[in-house]
Structure 1
């Protein structure tokens, strides 16, 4: 038997690496969300030969590269100084952009035959993670505690719940593309399981953000399904406007006293976020053009702990106007790239996942967290897989 052509062999290798990454997803979502950073980076390194830059991606990549260069330069005037090499965010961003981009690009390099198998793995991964989260919610994270106990470690009950609840973010982001990848009765079963896997643990653990993100993701999918050409462009404009106008909007809200009016209805965690946002806009207006430099928000405690818990405010605060414009271009490019002449379930699901990522970034995580950026790359990878599988017009078919 003659050996397979190198390109076919490379395609099988790439598909195998992506399958391994997807198979790890339920485990990482349940027991170690921080592991998404090395897992996605390793997948990108192993598939680096398949990296290709499409003409359609040049605007997005140029904006990302501009933001990277500006972020690294801004470290020179930042008041924050990392205590060790591991804390050098600028250096890590260089490697993350290269390796995470490679992992995302690998989704375009797998063959059509391998694509079907990867979609099945995606469906299975989302279903398994949903089931794990439901069981953990029923048992107060007993499985996670037992896992740590097997390695001779102990964890506070509240920390166990917090760590397991990270899986809610993973599930909310990956559920839309997985639902498109599933077929027939499997899709309906997965939809019910994923919905229960988000809503029940979110209620049991007391997490609002996954519920909010799921609702906005559903509305986004409906908009793109109803208006396949204009919907993504509208979303791109809204996302770009949000990144550019957030400091003004937040300042106006505080000036009108909306924080005081909402205070009786908000939990302690939301009140803490409002405090961070108020401090952040004060610092933004002090240096709106250059910003305070990469990781500067770490230096403004105790008013802000680590970061403002809002992506737009953090970018404005640290990278100023240039960073905000670059972020606006990135998200405008992501959404407008999903515009289609006819209805596409995959485009609607991809827009939903992007919207959920924006919601989480607006209320929860720091922009530069490695695992969070890695999870974003994994979500983009999953969306590319379903976009490749659903290239035909399905507007006249039952979905």
Structure 2
């Protein structure tokens, strides 16, 4: 009897601990998203480390967990033939992935394990914090980054153009998470806080020349409404689209290059987009030489000057480095994750999560697939999905 009471008390203590850790993390999301997006990898890792006793893999989680573990093993094997050899542990991608997978999973588990009242408080803190983030972005748009420049004076002076670029970069953080962040607000305030977040993203992205967040502001509401209207069909359709995206990307780029005037298209686009098309063209040429196994983890770094760091296209980078095996693994992961959002009834959490996942896939044409902060943002989307899913149906 006493042993049972002790176990119950221990579980309750863990729930309270996880709840307070989530509240602390919620306080930090907005300032990190604005001032230091790279810090998300440390934030999610810290949450996971502090909440390691909460780690669980449920029956529903098992397919995604198995796919992620298989992908990690294949990535590790691919390092044996990769031409990239890290010079120090901080550059060792497979080492970082080996730590990130359990720590980020632990952070997501903490959202499920947390005390319900504290979890609700954490979601509310996040909602108001992200609304304030949106207001700050509006202010930065009007003043051309005055607050960001002012804060930098205290620790590192920064050029005005770089400050504005960093402000624009931060719109990709809020532009990714705002549907799930707004969902944590009290019902009567939810649409207004969502509007403030979206307005901040749109204003700053257009002012500082970032197109992807603007496209995300169009895509997210469309996906949300589609999942809300067709809660069973749309997530399954999105799962198919995501899988096809990863499996067919090299063929799509090849077709565009073969059947259009690719060079004319490149010269008609802004410089950053033209450079990206050049990376993609070089990537498919390398993929054709080793389509099954790929060139190995982080091999993209060795294909300069045609490719600088990575192809700036998540599916192409997976193909280039991990081959068809890696692409099938990524397609399976996204297929499982998105299809699990299917419901027989309309559900706001499922709709918001699908919206965020769609934007994550859209933004994937800007970043390297293994960037720590980018993977951490993906884990944050999963954490917010789990946290909101534990609340009463909305």
TM range (shorter): over 0.9
Aligned partner of 1:115 among 114, 119, 127 = 119
**Preserved CA contact (<8 Å) 2:249 2:316:** yes
Residue 23 (structure 2) pairs with residue 14 (structure 1):
no
Q: SS at 1:343's partner residue?
A: coil
**Deviation for aligned residue 1:184:** 4.0
Partner of 1:170: 173
Partner of 2:214: 211
Partner of 1:388: 390
**Preserved CA contact (<8 Å) 1:345 1:390:** no
* Larger CA deviation: 240-249 vs 166-175: 166-175
**Deviation for aligned residue 1:264:** 5.8
Q: How has the CA–CA distance of structure 1 residues 258 and 331 changed in structure 2, closer, same or farther, with 3 Å as cutoff?
A: farther
CA separation in 2, counterparts of 1:283 and 1:10? 50
Q: How has the CA–CA distance of structure 1 residues 258 and 53 changed in structure 2, closer, same or farther, with 3 Å as cutoff?
A: farther
Partner of 1:127: 131
Partner of 2:372: 370
Partner of 1:96: 100
TM-score normalised by length of structure 1:
0.94
Which aligned pairs between 1:296-311 and structure 2 lie closer than 5 A? 296-311=299-314
TM-score normalised by length of structure 2:
0.95
Aligned residues: CA RMSD: 1.6
Partner of 2:357: 354
CA separation in 1, counterparts of 2:290 and 2:392? 46
CA separation in 1, counterparts of 2:389 and 2:261? 41
**Preserved CA contact (<8 Å) 1:29 1:164:** no
**Deviation for aligned residue 1:261:** 5.4
Residue 332 (structure 2) pairs with residue 326 (structure 1):
no
| Per-residue Cα deviation, 1:143-164 (whole angstroms, up to 9, x for no partner) | 222222112x222222222222
**Deviation for aligned residue 1:213:** 1.9
**Deviation for aligned residue 1:198:** 1.1
Q: How has the CA–CA distance of structure 1 residues 264 and 88 changed in structure 2, closer, same or farther, with 3 Å as cutoff?
A: closer
**Unmatched segments (≥5 aa) in structure 1:** 395-399
**Preserved CA contact (<8 Å) 1:225 1:348:** yes
**Preserved CA contact (<8 Å) 1:344 1:390:** no
Residue 27 (structure 2) pairs with residue 27 (structure 1):
no
Partner of 2:381: 379
CA separation in 2, counterparts of 1:92 and 1:221? 33
**Preserved CA contact (<8 Å) 2:245 2:315:** yes
Which aligned pairs between 1:1-399 and structure 2 lie closer than 5 A? 5-151=9-155, 153-257=156-260, 259-260=262-263, 262-263=265-266, 265-361=268-364, 363-391=365-393
Q: SS at 1:134's partner residue?
A: helix
Partner of 1:397: none
Q: SS at 1:55's partner residue?
A: coil
